[in-house]
């Protein structure tokens, strides 16, 4: 459930674009006006604002934002203003760079987007970078990470709720057997994780728990010092319990020594229109403090204001 708050009556895209242009003019930028407009418009509305801005002023809104804003506030606003597919393409591309390589970002995109959203992200990647997402992921990863990530970002899963219980039982046994053998990245595990629908995967994990008396996450936790196994565990969590995965990502980003602004920004801007309400509820349950309070205590200025606006703080 989304946390984005869009007013019942909003100005036209032309009017919004006019107010944004006005916010850039004069002595100093009017950051409050930028937040008031962009942080309270959905994806379709933001796209129309960008188009109206270009048509009316002959300029690119994103480039003007880059000229006027800076730091973490700039990154949050830019990522938020992008079309979701463009945003995913940019995040994935950044995640393959040597200095900013982050397999978790690629995994999140492959696990939490719908089949259509993932297809659109691949399409946007192809258009912007003149190569495929799959080839960049394959080129910039190695070993077990590559084995899992390439089919994850290539997937086009069934999105319905129908499940095959006989299949769930048989594949639960396959998962248990391979994990017992410590064959964590066996082809069969990769096949199940990267092709089955999320409903089917949840049914399979329930069968795993019922038949073998232990949750798969607990069995994988026994290899806590193995980074690849931890990554596999995070992938399963992201596929089947995304709100718990993102709660942990936010908790680590906020509570570490020095805030991980990249992770904090990424989760907020990608989930504000998707699943942020459930993530907030999970955060409160797990930490006994609201996410709003945690963000307010760990950030400041316009960066704090835009994040709080996106998570529905009033």
pTM for this entry: 0.95
For residue 100, pLDDT beyond 70: no
Q: Which residue has the higher pLDDT, 77 or 27?
A: 77
Residue pointed to by tokens 């895209």? 13
Non-local (6+) Cβ contacts of 9 within 8 A are none
Q: What is the mean pLDDT of the chain?
A: 96
How many whole angstroms from its chain centre is CA 291?
A: 17
* Tens digits of residue pLDDT in 201-228: 999 999 999 999 999 999 998 777 899 9
**What is the average per-residue pLDDT within 195-199?**
98
Looking at the chain, the whole-number percentage of residues with pLDDT higher than 70 is: 99
Q: Pick from 124, 17, 30: which is nearest to 60 by CA? A: 17
Helix (H) / strand (E) containing 14: helix 13-24
């Amino acid at each position: 459930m989304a946390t984005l708050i869009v007013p019942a009556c909003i100005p036209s895209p032309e009017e919004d674009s006019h107010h944004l242009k006005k916010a850039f003019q004069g002595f100093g930028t009017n950051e409050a006006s930028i937040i008031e407009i962009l942080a309270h418009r959905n994806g379709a509305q933001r796209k129309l604002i960008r188009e109206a801005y270009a048509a009316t002023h002959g300029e690119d809104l994103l480039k003007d934002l880059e000229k006027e804003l800076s730091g973490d506030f700039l990154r949050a606003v830019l990522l938020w203003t992008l079309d979701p597919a463009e945003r995913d393409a940019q995040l994935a591309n950044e995640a393959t760079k040597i200095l900013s390589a982050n397999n978790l970002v690629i995994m999140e995109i492959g696990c939490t987007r719908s089949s259509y959203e993932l297809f659109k992200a691949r399409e946007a990647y192809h258009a912007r970078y003149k190569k495929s997402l799959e080839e960049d992921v394959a080129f910039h990863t190695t070993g077990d990470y590559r084995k899992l990530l390439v089919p994850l970002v290539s997937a086009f899963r069934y999105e319905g709720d129908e499940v095959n219980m006989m299949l769930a039982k048989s594949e639960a046994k396959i998962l248990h057997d391979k994990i017992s053998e410590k064959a964590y990245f066996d082809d069969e595990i990769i096949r199940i994780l990267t092709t089955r629908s999320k409903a089917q995967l949840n049914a399979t994990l329930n069968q795993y728990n019922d038949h073998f008396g232990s949750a798969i996450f607990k069995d994988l936790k026994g290899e806590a010092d193995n980074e690849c196994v931890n990554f596999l565990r995070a992938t399963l969590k992201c596929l089947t319990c995304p709100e718990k995965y993102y709660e942990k990502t936010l908790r680590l980003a906020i509570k570490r020594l020095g805030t991980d602004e990249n992770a904090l920004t990424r989760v907020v801007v990608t989930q504000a229109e998707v699943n942020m309400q459930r993530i907030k509820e999970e955060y409160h349950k797990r930490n006994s403090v609201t996410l709003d309070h945690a963000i307010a205590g760990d950030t400041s200025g316009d960066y704090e204001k835009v994040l709080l606006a996106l998570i529905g703080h009033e």
